[in-house]
Structure 1
């Protein structure tokens, strides 16, 4: 039987001056051209989200400047510093930051994330990534990036160490009893004493537990090692499916991996689908806004350019007319795509290699599977959300936002319709934590 107590979850991913799918957001005269490094812009997006009772703000990140990419990948703020700023201006909404396990040591990572959790009153989340790109590796003194399997093995160990550090102190480790003079209960302290393949960490961490115990773990891997990492560690899986069938298939992959690899004390992960949502009071208004969105961002041209860059082929002055589009996809193209973009692209190109696609055919297929854009009236969007939610294709959605007007209209028009259907909360709970908002129990294993 369906659990009627379940409610839909919503997150927002601000993409500032333009990221993948909204690359030319900075050309919108209603938005600041420097939105990606404009703290006030992020603060306003967070305020709109909090007014809409959203679960969290989600900040993506990379550790190199992709000068050939979208503006948001050239210049943007470090997530945890920005989220600490947003914590001061918000009260209830969760704050999720992307931090790489490949280029961060677990001790510093654990301390920074737990500090954000304390600053925000238990609203922090960590999006675990392994990072791709040779330039990222060279920024950290490596001649080339580590092998895919190595990065994920390091990530699994990193999460293990970070969580052990977060659990260095029991919840009651600090009595701070002035009458007895006891600040710390030494029996409630746990050494980590981790000696693994990648890390040696003694512990304990030099900061105690937060209101929610420890930050929520997010993960978004699609490759076999990525699926296993999510199955082993994640509280929330962030995916980019193009339809319910693809979403259910990905959920099944993670669920199958979880049977073998997920610790028994962890509840099943939530699945959140990344989308762009465009609404209007009428179908005509919604469709007009969609056409305007496509014209502004010229998504076909941007996708062609991105794929050709990823496989290190010359896109020329006009990617749409590049002669490379009539070339067959090769094994070397697949290898380069995996190195520069990761499995989301290499998996599709591998399929195209096997069936003998040329690049124009491969990119046409990718465009159909690339980014889910939902367009319609509030009732139509709510219908789609409910279909995904009831079918198990998604427990919620993460909205990519670079246009505050479109986002505000979603909050003012679609959220009330979701509430009317009993799909979404009507208020925040008292002393909201991110775990509380998402309905995720404590991550600590039972003694």
Structure 2
């Protein structure tokens, strides 16, 4: 794929895409206990993170969401920043970040299980206007059962039903974003015409989960539509992503599995009549970077030593699908057989495969997952991290990465100061922004109104006001 590792790539003409994943105090389970992490959770911390990522020319800041305190593991939650407690709701926070940055994309999470399409469409269209075209919506089906009782459900919605709802939800949101043509708002003072009624569409959607009239009471946004992001890796999740997503955040721990996922998802996109280039695949990357290998390893070991067993077991139980109580098994014994879960289906499969492949004990497994929760982990020098990223990129395991700093701000600072210059030296990453919108950064086309991503589109066409 290239003359040699570290040389400028030859086969791919694009460059690596990078998201900066802002997650609480850092992605390592014990990050909050480490001195390289912010104490507390203040707005200034988030604005500094976004500005640091923008100075390094990241494509986007990525913010996940948690809609519940993890009461099923209350004692463990009380000892962990990964407890479900977060000071800021994503859209509120991203609106602030839009005001203190100029170019970096702003991707936030909103659940298709616990929201309504009209509100989500309006919120992200507003963020796109506020940011002058930098918004992205990460559509999730919400795997955490703790959230269900907060939204009127006695128990968590079944996995298959969550994805059926998500498909219709995404179609409705996309249709609402196309309520007006780009040039509908003429605002002609002389004639008194504010908008051209013939360039407005009433959705009139009636489906299995939603009845939404529309139109959205927002002009078409700068990007046409905010960028659609999705993170499912089950078969249902991959079908949803292949049909609706433009960026896919995925959990892959080996290049072989990443290449399989990449090829599968791009092929599924083609089966829905989409170009493979219309989807950018960004696996999570957990980098621990040092000036030397030993320094990087020491950084990780410092964090590993801060993990309380009760917290490690709780994390593992959650990632394994919440089907067994692992405290009932020897902590230095093997992972027991797990019943199938209704929660994180694809993540449970990844956890079991990792434990069996590497013959890990329960303690060894939670220490592995405490760092990256199953994502690609690279511990070493900037050159070693860049080597791994380049291999995944050139061998079509990734179009880029969602970077998951172990600690915040220290982990992001290390990546920006050490890895970014190495990627730039190799010609793998930009030196500066060449545009202002998230679509431009990612190399995604701006969709025309009613250029829908799904087979639902013809049903919306021509539904003009009054018809």
Q: Structure 1, residues 362-419: CA drift from partner, whole Å, max 9, x if none?
A: 9489859823221222222222221111111111111113331231121122111111
Query: Is the counterpart of residue 78 in structure 1 residue 83 in structure 2?
Result: no
* Cα separation, partners in 2 of 1:378 and 1:366, compared to 1, 3 Å: closer
1:411 is matched with 416
Indicate the residue corresponding to 2:330 in structure 1.
323
Higher helix share: 1
Q: Which has the higher contact order (CA 8 A, sep 6+)?
A: 2
Q: Which residue, 284, 294, 306 being the options, matches 1:274?
A: 284
SS in 2 for 1:143: coil
Mapping for residues 5-24 of structure 1, pairs under 5 Å: 5-19=13-27, 22-24=28-30
For the residue of structure 2 that corresponds to 1:230, the secondary structure is helix
Aligned length: 430
Q: Which of residues 165, 168, 191 is equivalent to 2:176? A: 165
Determine the structure 2 residue equivalent to 1:182: 193
TM-score using structure 2 length: 0.84
Match in the other structure for 1:129: 140
Which residue does the alignment assign to 1:390?
394
Aligned residue number for residue 110 of structure 1: 121
Instruction: State whether structure 2 residue 38 is matched by structure 1 residue 32.
Output: yes
Contiguous gaps of at least 5 residues in structure 1 = none
User: Comparing 100-109 with 10-19, which one deviates more in the overlay?
Assistant: 10-19
User: What is the CA-CA distance between 1:107 and the residue it aligns to?
Assistant: 0.4
User: Counterparts of 1:65 and 1:140 in 2: how far apart (Å)?
Assistant: 13
The 8 Å contact of residues 122 and 218 in structure 2, kept in 1 or not, is answered as yes
Q: TM-score, normalised by structure 1?
A: 0.88
Distance 1:406 1:147, change over 3 A: closer
Where structure 2 has 5 or more consecutive residues not aligned to the other structure, the ranges are 2-9, 453-460, 462-467
Cα deviation, 1:28-60, whole Å, max 9, x if unaligned, reads: 23433323xx21111111111001000000011
Q: Secondary structure at the residue paired with 1:71?
A: coil
Q: Which moved more, 1:111-120 or 1:264-273?
A: 264-273
Deviation at 1:88, TM superposition (A): 0.6
Kindly indicate whether residue 258 of structure 2 is the aligned counterpart of residue 247 of structure 1.
yes
Task: Report if the CA contact (8 A) 2:335-2:362 is conserved.
Answer: no
Contact in 2 for aligned 1:133/1:339 (Cα 8 Å): no
Q: Alpha carbons of 1:4 and 1:259: their partners in 2 closer, same or farther (altered >3 Å)?
A: closer
User: Contact 2:350–2:374 (CA<8 Å) still a contact in 1?
Assistant: no
Measured in 2, the distance between the counterparts of 1:41 and 1:408 equals 13
Is 2:26–2:408's contact at 8 Å kept on the other side of the alignment? Answer: no
Note the C-alpha offset of 1:159: 0.3
Using the alignment, how far apart are the partners of 1:91 and 1:153 within structure 2? 37
Match of 2:63 in 1: 59
Counterpart selection for 1:91 from 102, 105, 117:
102
What is the deviation of 1:209? Answer: 1.3
Q: Contact 1:266 / 1:443 at 8 angstroms: preserved in 2?
A: no
* 8 Å Cα contact 2:57-2:430 kept in structure 1: yes
Separation in 1 of the partners of 2:149 and 2:220? Answer: 35
Where 1:275 maps in the other structure, the secondary structure is: strand
The superposition leaves residues 317-337 of structure 1 with CA deviations (integer Å, 9 ceiling, x where unpaired) of xx9xx437758734xx423xx
- What displacement does 1:183 show? 1.3
Say if 1:196 and 1:379 are closer, same or farther in 2 by CA, change over 3 A. same
Distance 2:25 2:367 in 1: 27
- The alignment partner of 1:403 has SS state of coil
d(CA) in 2 for partners of 1:157, 1:265: 22
Structure 2 residue aligned with 1:436, among 428, 440, 448? 440
* Shift in Å, 1:311: 3.2
Partner SS for 1:329: coil
State the alpha-carbon separation in 1 of the partners of residues 85 and 112 from structure 2. 21
CA contact (8 A) 1:9 1:397 kept: yes
- Cα RMSD of the aligned pairs, angstroms, is 2.9
CA spacing shift, 1:187–1:419, aligned 2, 3 Å = same
**Quick one: which of 345, 348, 351 aligns to 1:345?**
348
Name the CA shift for 1:426/1:177 in 2 (closer, same or farther; >3 Å): same
Partner of 1:306: 315
Structure 1 equivalent of residue 224 of structure 2: 213
Deviations 1:105-142 (A, max 9, x none): 00011001111111111100011101123331111111
| Compared CA separation, residues 282 and 350, structure 1 to 2 (3 A) | closer
